[in-house]
Amino acid sequence: MIYVYLEAHELGFKKNCFETITYALDLAKHTQEEVIGICLSHIDSNMFTQAENFGLKKIIQLYNPGFSNFDAQLFSKIIAHKIKTEQANIVFSNTVQGKYLAPRVAMLNHYSFLNNIIGLPENLVFKKNVYSGKAIQMCKPLNTNWVIAIASNSYHITEQKVSCNISVENIDIDLSKIKCISSEKTSDTISLVDAEIVVAGGRGLKGPENWGIIEELAKILGAATACSRPVADLHWRPHHEHVGQTGIQINPNLYIAIGISGAIQHLAGVNRSKHIVVINIDPEAPFVKACDYAVIGDCFQVVPKLIDAIKQVKK
């Protein structure tokens, strides 16, 4: 039996859930195992439809009227207990919640723990991203049971219509020890970690007043915006946009870096992107050698032309 942790937000299940569902279904194909979604939040009709569209036949909702906020300590104990009782394995996504829960669940049950997993295993040998994307480690769980977390945006999503059955199990919980005292939304734009396309600007843009072209390009592509470390340190852009070794590590399908030279610390945060386009005036910039497509030219001329060209094909 393979469980899949289903994480909800205001628009239903998060996109990463469909990736983990497809992954778990493909994994279970060989072993003829059953795949069951496990969810600790309220499931509305929209989420139910989503589950049916992505091939999930069963969801267990573990429910307690006292649940209000996400609490890793409580949630992990509930999940660990459930999978131990069922002798099941579990797949998480490497999202914020997945990173809280997967290691805790593995530790509580002393299950083998593997994260940053890319692709399906061969003979139970899993591949994982290590050294900030500079190497891949092959490793094998030695326990019969395991907890894995797959790298977000690393597996395809397959739609397949099935009928889904939800069972609600009431559970007892301890009192939460943590209290959320304030929450702040940084912006209404797309979150960097989930984004399929990311457009980033560096010092080559010369100043915060020139960010209009970055934002416009991001807008027509439905992309998230990011920046390099010097730009965040100069306060041209907020720190939460900083991608790189010490900032956020991203893995979108397309990463467009504008006016970023490509210091090794920056590359460590972005080199898991599937396709990288670099726009730089300097053909000798290190990033030009480490990308897939490079446009050599002045970004203030290239980017508006790129925006026009994209608008043309999107018509």
Partner 1 sequence: MKILVCISKTPDTTSKISFIDNNSKFDDKDVVFIINPYDEWYALVRGIELKEADPSITLHLMFVGTSDIDPIIRKCFALGGEQAIRIDCMPQDSMETAFQIATYIQDNPYDLILCGKETIDFNNGAVGAMIAAKLDIPHFNLASELTLNDTMITVKTEVDGGTETFSTCLPALVCCQKGMAEQRIANMRNIIASKTKPIQIVPPYPFTPNIQNVNFELPPPKSGVKLYNIETINDLVQTLHQDLKLF
Q: Which of residues 107-136 bind partner 1 (CB under 8 A)?
A: 107-108, 110-116, 125, 127, 129-136
Restricted to residues 150-179, the positions that interact with partner 1 (CB under 8 A) are 177-179
Kindly identify the residues of this chain, within the stretch 267-286, that bind partner 1 according to CB under 8 A.
268, 275, 277, 283
Stretch that binds partner 1, among 40-48, 66-74, 161-169, 201-209 (CB under 8 A): 66-74
- Among residues 242, 258, 270, 280, the one that binds partner 1 under rule CB under 8 A: 242
Segment near partner 1 (CB under 8 A), from 34-42, 59-67, 199-207, 297-305?
Answer: 297-305
Could you identify the residue written with the tokens 């919980």?
Answer: 173
Closer to partner 1 at the Cβ: 250 or 254? Answer: 254
* DSSP for residue 176: P
Is residue 115 within 8 A of residue 105, CB to CB? The reply is: no
Amino acid at 277: V
Count CA within 13 A, CB hemisphere, residue 234.
15
Find all residues with CB under 8 Å of 281, minimum gap 6, and list them.
204, 259, 296, 297, 298, 299
The residue range among 37-45, 50-58, 208-216, 299-307 that interacts with partner 1, by the rule CB under 8 A, is: 299-307
Q: Which stretch binds partner 1 (CB under 8 A): 50-58, 70-78, 85-93, 159-167?
A: 70-78
User: What are the tokens at 251?
Assistant: 């893995």
Alpha-carbon distances of 64 from 58, 68, 75, 78, 214, rounded to whole Å: 19, 9, 11, 11, 45
Task: Name the residue nearer to partner 1 (CB basis): 210 or 245.
Answer: 245
Subset of 5-64 contacting partner 1 (CB under 8 A): 9
Cβ within 8 Å of residue 65, ≥6 positions away: none
In the region spanning residues 196 to 235, those forming contacts with partner 1, defined by CB under 8 A, are 197, 221-222
Contact between 82 and partner 1 by CB under 8 A: the answer reads no
Amino acid identity of residue 275, one-letter, is H
For residue 232, the minimal CB distance to partner 1 (Å) is 9
- Applying CB under 8 A, among 17, 56, 254, 260 the residue interacting with partner 1 is 254
d(CA 258, CA 213): 10
Distances in Å between the Cα of 88 and the Cα atoms of 82, 114, 211 are 8, 15, 49
Angstrom distance (rounded) from CA 27 to CA 313: 38
Task: Name the one range near partner 1 by CB under 8 A: 20-28, 31-39, 164-172, 298-306.
Answer: 298-306
The least CB distance from residue 116 to partner 1, in Å, is 6
Options 120, 166, 173, 296; binder of partner 1; rule CB under 8 A = 296
Q: Kindly state the number of chain residues that form the binding site for partner 1, as judged by CB under 8 A.
A: 92
